[in-house]
A and B are shown apart, each in its own frame.
Chain A
Amino acid sequence: MGGSWLQYVAGGLTAGAIYALVALGFSIVYHASHAINFAQGEFVMIGGMSAVSLVALGLPLWIAVPLAVAGAVIVGLLVQRLALERAQSGGQADVVTLIIITIGVALFLRGLAQLVWDKRIHALPAFSGSEPITIGGATVLPQSLWVLGGAAVAVLALGWFFNRTLYGKAMRATAINPLAARLMGISTRGVMRTSFALAAALGALGGVLTAPITFTSTDIGVMLGLKGFAAAMLGGLGSFGGAVAGGLLLGLIEGLGAGFVSSAYKDAIAFVVILAVLFFLPGGLVGARRSERV
């Protein structure tokens, strides 16, 4: 019993790390624009699928992975530039409109991906071998350690960026008060673009890290995006620490729930979590309530 408990925890944390990366992407974009980017999950897919193609072309992993992430970043910038910038600058783009636009983008990217690649499932070779390791009664794949490690590095790098670098602080300032930030010479456009680029990079990183374990296909974007969003909401939308905590927590709940309750309803868990958060804790674990000023 102890072993399987640990097993579920390990599996849950691994999945949770990916959710955390996706959730971070959501939070960064929300922080900068108050828009939910429903296409976030597609960046995960693009990352994984690009890596698969690059590896199939013969490139070694250590080149394919960064290239795949870079490719996703380019797509993210294009999306932001072509679809969102115009809608947001063109006067009143209300929340519903922006949501629908990002859904359209997600559909478009998915449709495009199905043309560029195909609808089959693909695997990426594990980064350092696929011999399971035993840690304290649980059997863990080395790739899981890559996932957790990679996610941790990404989170720390982001933390350093937002807290210690000038541009990172500028981005946070823009989120808090765009007008004041612009008066200080910070380009809000630049901040939006950087946010998208970061979100795409995080998503793609998650996609690449998890592809050896969970495989990848052009369909995975939707579910991952939704679960990542659930995690972001759980932690409090716009909060970076919350996104990470939410992701790990969601992964844990999912893993334990699938193990002990029902594996058929595993996917439903994330949505039940979303609903619970929305109904009982609209600000998430971290967030605060805002009231409308009349």
Chain B
Amino acid sequence: MNKIRMEHGSGGRSTGELIEQIFAKAFSNEILSAMEDAAVVEGTPRIAVTTDSFVVTPLEFPGGDIGRLSICGTVNDLLMRGAVPKYITCGFILQEGADTVQLKRLVNSMAKTAKEAGVQIIAGDTKVVEGNGGIFINTTGVGFVPEAIDISSANGRAGDVILVSGSLGDHHAAILSSRMGIKNTITSDNAPLTDMVKKLLDENIQIRTLRDVTRGGLATVLKELAVSSGMQFEIEEGALPINLQVWDFCGLLGLDPLYMGNEGKLIALAAKEDARKALEIMRSAEYGENAAIIGEVMEPETESERGRLILKTRIGGRRVLDILQGEGLPRIC
């Protein structure tokens, strides 16, 4: 069995072999191993639920793969509402011709990442479709939300500080480098932020908002937060953590790191009096060593300042930032 064939999706013997040799082996736990139609699990009064589909190419890239990504993306979305991630379900859509050795690597990577993130994979499904060896993964996550938690994109208040958990654009730059065949040592930052969020909440930091910096990059995400909270956000260009290699890569291609996606970074809005402590906690947590305070939330003085995002540039200019426009293509000259 080296390539996925249509019969692997038949529901018969080949499907059984595929599940047994690849999925069950990697994901084995009591709930999944029961092989029932649905998983029955312990619950809590407030749960967070989210779902995401992963279609990235290449399937494996410097620093990660689609398997790791499919866990991190969903786990991080749960964390951003202050939930403790508990369960994951996964659906695989495999195109015929997919390499089973590679599939095994990706599934093992999912299992390893799930363990790291503290979630159990409790249900799964596999379908095979015609095509050209592609692998697509959907994951749905469930997390428990403690009673007192109120973390939402609308909660930013005047005086709050804006923190980011590390360098911008790494995942995006790693994927683009792979696709374009550009050799460098940029690696994806795909990572579960369980440890960081847990520590922030355990220490009772007054967190208003958490948001992971994914597609559209920091500027898009902050602009959305400014709009939902009705505040004006100001960030300092000089305070933004950006890996030098990513910076140069963007310069060469005419891309803007402010609009490049990550897969293991978060933005936190925290009460001003907790800013220092929040920064220390983030820096001491896993994947947070380059965390930084990058700006603050301001009361809008005019109607046009409401929902506005301003970047104070290094030389003292002010630039209004909007959400990402278009696709961010390389320029002509």
Q: Do A and B bind each other?
A: no
On B, residues with C-beta under 8 Å from A are none
